[in-house]
Amino acid sequence: MEWETVIGLEVHAQLLTKSKLFSGSSTQFGAQPNTQACAVDIALPGVLPVMNLEAARMAVKFGLAVGATVNRRSVFARKNYFYPDLPKGYQISQYELPVVQLGRLMIDVDGMKKEIGITRAHLEEDAGKSLHEAFEGLTGIDLNRAGTPLLEIVSEPDMRSAKEAVTYLKKLHVLVRYLGICDGNMQEGSFRCDANVSVRPKGQHAFGTRAELKNINSFRFVEKAIDYEVARQVELIESGGKVVQETRLYDSQSNETRSMRSKEEAHDYRYFPDPDLLPLELDEQFIKEAALGLPELPDAKRERFVREYGLSAYDAEVLTGSREMADYYEAAAAMVPGQAKLAANWIIGDLSGYLNRDSLGIGDAPVTSAMLAGLVCRIADSTISGKIAKDVFDAMWNGEGDADAVIGKKGLRQITDESAIERIIDEVMARNPKQLEQYRSGQDKLFGFFVGQVMKATQGKANPAQVNESLRKKLGDKPA
């Protein structure tokens, strides 16, 4: 039987507010345990929550960016459950009336565009953290994270493959960073994803029973966890079993999912409107101001890059992967008129390679956009070849100055003087009579040997196009 995969994602994006959702404690990551948890966060009796308006502004920005309805009135609800890292005994979330509803995100998988529905995005507070490794036989509780604002973004079950799910997730990841509402750090848990996965016979309308996969902390693992889970469900059904609705934990070490608990139902949480909080009411002005604060969004920027710089869709996609990268590119491109494509190649190729190698963000690149532009100019005006440019780039990266300084200091200026190149060719021919003989008797492949010898003799500095041309003349006119 042929099976179809159905996936819906729940993403928790930690909002970049300075203080928590309902208290003034700092949200800074990495502080000593329990140094950033005030009376509200640790739920001392009698404390009252006070809503952080900045979190609402961020949620509204997100809603506008995904073409959603921004509800002028939304309601905070208590979601009741017991867990050691939740001293209140409930989490403040939004249930029936979320701040954002009915949005969408367009994804592009293998050239096919597809719209993924966003059911809702609601504000909620994070819980604390249980530290299982810190003490022998004991569990530590760190409440620094308790009360940190999250935007939970729930998708429709619109995705049909792990690849679509990862594409959607990456797109969301880029978007929240563009909006400046989340740092997207998956290792630190600022951007987390639960994947709901089910399968159904192809052609069947009704959805199958879903499992919810937790603990997926990288894009790669999202894909692997879903693939594993789909195979497990298909195998289970085909051997006569039934998928049960449950929460499963993904184990990246063994690449499998394990049952964690049977799925709780909404009524288990006894949701009710939080009596300590007024409904969140946003006026027109507030929403307008949030709209004015929106940056150019990734899709628009990508399309503009194609139009304005003549880039391929792929190049534009990579270069608009973050605002910093896009800004870097635009700054460089502005300094190299007519060489926008060459500048793009250097950023996507060598610069990105070095950033990855050294685990640096583009903001920390030792080669600035002006330095890169300088390099591109020297390639464009034939001062250096593309190959030598790689050495210049490396030297710039290591702090040896800008392109002109490196070229001057190391004597890398390209040899374009025709008579000089011909002289070197003569020497090479004189040194290799046997190869010359073989070439002239029909071994065309040896042309490359001569090119190599000339480049070697000039330490790679001869202009390759000129070497080819002059060699062809000297060796007898055999096109390579």
d(Cα 268, Cα 264) in Å, to the nearest integer? 6
Residue 366 dihedral angles phi and psi, to the nearest 5°: -65, -20
Kindly state whether residue 154 participates in binding ligand ADP, applying the rule CB under 6 A: yes
User: Which of 10, 85, 108, 251: binder of ligand ADP (CB under 6 A)?
Assistant: 10
Question: Based on CB atoms, which residue is closest to ligand ADP, 156 or 299?
Answer: 156
Q: Which is nearer to ligand ADP, 71 or 144 (CB)?
A: 71
- Residue 156 contact partner, candidates ligand ADP, Mg ion, none, CB within 5 to 8 A by sort of partner: ligand ADP
Residue least distant from Mg ion (Cβ): 10
Minimum Å gap between C-beta 212 and ligand ADP is 6
- Interacting residues of 52 by C-beta distance below 8 A, sequence separation 6+: 17, 19, 20, 21, 22, 149
Q: Determine the residue with CB nearest ligand ADP.
A: 8
Interatomic CA distance for residues 61 and 78, integer angstroms: 24
Cβ distance to ligand ADP smaller for residue 208 or 374: 208
Residues numbered 168-197 forming contacts with ligand ADP, rule: CB under 6 A = 196-197
Q: Is 377 in the site for ligand ADP (CB under 6 A)?
A: no
Minimum distance, C-beta of residue 8 to Mg ion, in the bound complex (Å)? 9
Candidate residues 210, 224, 248, 323; the one interacting with ligand ADP per rule CB under 6 A: 210
Evaluate whether 147 touches 40 at the Cβ level (below 8 Å): yes
Out of Mg ion, ligand ADP, none, which partner does residue 157 contact, by CB within 5 to 8 A per kind?
ligand ADP
Is the CB of 144 or the CB of 155 nearer to ligand ADP? 155
- Does residue 207 interact with ligand ADP by CB under 6 A? yes
What CA–CA distance (Å, rounded) separates 3 from 203?
Answer: 9
| In the complex, minimum distance from the CB of residue 29 to ligand ADP, in angstroms, rounded to a whole number | 26
323-334 vs 298-309: helix crossing angle, rounded to 10: 20
From the list 152, 68, 162, the residue with the least C-alpha distance to 117 is: 68
Q: Rounded to the nearest whole angstrom, what is the least distance from the CB of residue 355 to Mg ion in the complex?
A: 35
Least gap, CB of 232 to ligand ADP (angstroms): 14
In whole angstroms, what is the distance from residue 431 CA to residue 425 CA? Answer: 10
* Two structure tokens written together for 13: 């994006």
Please state the closest distance from residue 212 (CB atom) to Mg ion, in A.
Answer: 5
Please give the Cα distance from 66 to 105 (Å, whole number).
6
Q: Which range touches ligand ADP (CB under 6 A), out of 151-159, 229-237, 252-260, 421-429?
A: 151-159
Q: Work out the number of other CB atoms within 10 angstroms of the CB of residue 27.
A: 22
Which residue has tokens 């004189």? 430
3-state secondary structure of 96: coil
Cβ-based nearer residue to Mg ion, 10 or 391: 10
Is there a contact between 273 and 75 (Cβ–Cβ < 8 Å)?
Answer: yes
Nearest distance from C-beta of residue 298 to ligand ADP, angstroms: 22
* Contacts for 17 with CB less than 8 Å, ≥ 6 apart: 27, 52, 54, 55, 58, 149
Q: Which is nearer to ligand ADP, 148 or 196 (CB)?
A: 196
Specify the residue, 98 or 374, whose C-beta has the smaller distance to ligand ADP: 98
Which of Mg ion, ligand ADP, none does residue 219 bind (CB under 5 to 8 Å by kind)? none
Nearer to ligand ADP, 198 or 257 (CB): 198
- Cβ proximity to ligand ADP, 9 vs 40, nearer residue: 9
**What is the bridge-based pairing of β-strands 3-14 and 191-201?**
antiparallel
The number of C-alpha atoms within 13 Å of 403 and in the hemisphere containing its C-beta is: 24
415 has which bridge partners? 462
* Contact in structure between 40 and 274 (CB atoms under 8 Å): no
What whole-number distance in Å separates Cα of residue 304 and Cα of residue 329? Answer: 13
Q: Does 229 bind ligand ADP (CB under 6 A)?
A: no
Interacting residues toward Mg ion by CB under 5 A: 10
Q: Is residue 6 near ligand ADP by the rule CB under 6 A?
A: yes
Among 94, 144, 155, 383, binds ligand ADP (CB under 6 A): 155
Q: List residues binding ligand ADP (CB under 6 A).
A: 6-10, 154-157, 196-198, 207-208, 210, 212
